[in-house]
A and B are shown apart, each in its own frame.
Chain A
Amino acid sequence: MSGFLSSPLFAIALTIGVYWAAQQLQRRLKVVILNPILVAVAIIIVVLNLGNVTYESYYSGGKYLEYLLKPAIVALGVPLYLQLEQIRKQAVPIIVSQLVACITGVVTVVLVADALSASLPVILSLSPKSATTPIAIEVTRVLGGIPALSAIVVILTGIFGAVFGMAILRLFAITSPIAQGLALGAAAHAVGTAHAMQKSRRLGAYSSLGLIVNGTLTGLLTPYILQLLGY
């Protein structure tokens, strides 16, 4: 039995099965905190612990699914291409606000974490937290942080932004739907965008624009921003 539980096939079947069930759960209950990735990760960790399966054996199968992240990021080139025209029309406000978003995101999380005496691997793993998960994981890998920590922090950031984002924006008197959408996408990536999509198509479109532009800038600039900050 333990031989079967340690096989790559079991890891792949478990991941796909649990993720599918978690997706169904969210579709039924529509609660943002029950993010399918978060739920699937929690259930799989419990199953592996109960079956005495090490992460190494799980990863012997899990790595095949994880490898698909890279082609999936490349595939983001299609929505980016489809939005090029919209970006070009308002290039300056969009690019400048996303550049500011990217720098704010990296600098504030790094300085606050450092002030509260977080260790270096944790600081590096938090730095790309506003980018969408696949980008954040790649950045953390390049920096030498802990990709798993980035994955979870990014998802929790997205959930926080989706649940409280609109209230926070209103609190700071940000009322234009374009600014709201761009800010949601920049701060809370795909989870915030999915939430914005439910409110209105326009908010969702600008949120996905923020997600892509900020994600790209964060992916490209984070190593250099950290270098300037002296890490």
Chain B
Amino acid sequence: MIRQCAIIIACLALAELIVYLTGIRFPSALIGMLLLTLFLKLGWVRLEWVKGISDFLLAHLGLFFVPPGVALMLHFNLIASEFLPIAVATLASTVAVLAITGWTHQLLRRR
């Protein structure tokens, strides 16, 4: 279990270092994810070394974004005053993504 934690934290720390050194505007956790994928692919990390902790973290993913969600209580006024653009933009964009992604894939597969 300690080794599992160490691998995940090491990927994250390495990613933070890359962001710090290069100044790129990427979320460090995403770079950590890609590093972990790369290390698994290269065989430096074995699947069974990280499978347990990965399953645990992903099974409880929802819990971790409850605290940032609760911060909504600080922004009620903003949301009330901009409810219309937030709702319309979100719905319209979701319909557009569904349609355009589906079409693109169908089009490319037919060729």
Q: Give the interface of A toward B (CB within 8 A).
A: 11, 15-16, 18-19, 23, 36-38, 40-41, 44-45, 48-49, 55, 58-59, 62-63, 65-66, 68-81, 84, 90, 92-94, 96-98, 100-101, 104-105, 108-110, 112-113, 116-119, 121-122, 126, 129-130, 133-135, 137-139, 141-142, 146-149, 151-153, 155-157, 160-161, 165, 168-169, 172, 174-176, 178-180, 182-184, 186-188, 190, 210, 214, 216, 219-220, 223-224
Q: Bound complex: CA of A214 vs CA of B32, how far in Å?
A: 17
Task: List residues of chain B with CB within 8 A of the CB of A182.
Answer: 101-102, 105
Contact at A15–B67, with CB atoms within 8 Å?
yes
| A59-B70 Cα distance, complex, nearest whole Å | 9
Contact string against A for B residues 1-37, beta-carbon threshold 8 Å, 1 for contact and 0 otherwise: 0000000110110010000000001111110111111
Shortest 10 CB-CB distances between A and B: which pairs?
A77-B36, A62-B67, A174-B102, A138-B27, A148-B71, A116-B85, A109-B93, A73-B29, A118-B85, A113-B89
Q: Would A157 and B27 be within 8 Å (CB), given that A70-B12, A81-B47, A112-B88 are in contact?
A: no
Return A152 CB to nearest CB of chain B, in Å: 6
CB distance from B62 to the nearest CB of A (A): 5
The reply to whether B78 and A178 form a contact with Cβ atoms under 8 Å apart is no
Find out whether the CB atom of A220 lies under 8 angstroms from the CB atom of B26. Answer: yes
Which partner residue on chain B sits nearest A227 by CB separation? B25
With contacts A74-B33, A149-B75, A182-B101 known, what are 19 further pairs, Cβ within 8 A?
A23-B62, A37-B62, A37-B66, A41-B69, A44-B66, A44-B70, A45-B72, A55-B73, A55-B74, A71-B8, A75-B57, A93-B108, A109-B90, A113-B85, A151-B71, A161-B98, A172-B102, A183-B102, A187-B94
Residues of B within 8 A of A134 (CB): 29, 61, 64-65
A197 to B30, CA, bound (A): 24
Please report which residues of chain B, range 45-95, place their CB below 8 angstroms from some CB of chain A when the two chains form the complex.
47, 50-51, 53-55, 57-58, 60-75, 78-79, 82, 84-86, 88-95
Shortest distance from the beta carbon of A159 to any chain B beta carbon, whole Å: 10
Q: In the bound complex, do residue B68 and residue A137 qualify as a contact, i.e. CB atoms below 8 Å apart?
A: yes
Could you tell me if A118 and B86 are in contact, using CB atoms closer than 8 angstroms? yes
Complex CA gap A157/B25 in Å reads 25
Shortest CB–CB separation between residue B49 and chain A, in angstroms?
10
Give the contact-size bracket for chain B: 35 or more
| Whole-angstrom CA separation of A142 from B33 in the bound complex | 17
Cα A152 to Cα B73 in complex, Å, equals 11
Interface of B is mostly: helix
> Chain A interface mostly helix, strand, loop or mixed?
helix
Distance, CA A231 to CA B47, complexed state (A): 41
Contacts of A74 in B (CB 8 A): 8, 11-12, 15, 29, 32-33, 35-36
B104 touches which of A48, A100, A223 (Cβ 8 Å): A100
Q: Which of B30, B40, B68 contacts A220 (CB 8 A)?
A: B30
